[in-house]
Amino acid sequence: MLNKRSIVAWVMALLVTFLASCASPTPPPTYSDAQLQKIELSAAGIQGLRDRMGELKSLIKKEDWVNVRTFIHGPLGDLRSKTTYLTQSLLLPKDKTPVLDAAKQVFGDLQDIDVAAAEGNKKQAISEYKEAVADFDTFLGLVPKIK
């Protein structure tokens, strides 16, 4: 015959199991409105650099290689620090990797434009410019926005 302590222990174990299974899971982390505003402010600075990509295109078309390289290392030189701040300081861990990967694609494209400019290769520079613009747009599309 079962003793009273073992019955009470079984009832308590069943009760704890039942209560634990009824608990709702913790929701995944989301952005607060304040965080989204900081992200949008940071993204606006990056968007400003994206808006200046037309200047780079005109320099490439003119084959003004010195100014192409100067533009990449000058005004667009802030791009790396701005994207790093955005991805490392403002984004949730689940969003960091795709945004960071897209930023790396843009940096690679700009580096390829720089190499093409150093070689005076207009065709390659235009091709890399098109890729840079597409990757830039991909990057900006991955950044969370206020709904």
> Domain extents for the chain?
31-142
Higher pLDDT, 7 or 39: 39
Higher pLDDT, 147 or 77: 77
List, in order, residues 6 or more apart from 131 with CB less than 8 Å away. 109, 112
pLDDT at 24: 67
HSE at residue 94, side-chain half, CA atoms within 13 A, is 5
- Asked whether the predicted pLDDT for residue 64 surpasses 90, the reply is yes
Q: Judging by beta carbons within 10 Å of its beta carbon (0-12, 13-18, 19+), is residue 53 exposed, middle or buried?
A: middle
Q: Indicate the CATH number for domain 31-142.
A: 1.20.120.290
Q: Where are the alpha helices (DSSP H) in 29-92?
A: 33-51, 53-61, 65-73, 79-85
Higher pLDDT, 10 or 66: 66
Higher pLDDT, 135 or 23: 135
Higher pLDDT, 111 or 7: 111
Rounded Cα distance, 122 and 48, in Å = 25
User: What global pTM score does this model have?
Assistant: 0.79
Confidence of residue 2 (pLDDT cuts 50, 70, 90): low
pLDDT tens string 77-128: 999 999 999 999 999 999 999 999 999 999 999 999 999 999 999 999 999 9
Nearest to 92 by CA among 45, 35, 33, 23: 35
Rounded Cα distance, 34 and 53, in Å = 30
What one-character-per-residue DSSP string does 53-67 give?
Answer: HHHHHHHHHTT-HHH
- Show the CA angle centred on residue 55, arms to residues 129 and 145, nearest 5°: 75
Confidence of residue 130 (pLDDT cuts 50, 70, 90): very high
Confidence of residue 13 (pLDDT cuts 50, 70, 90): confident
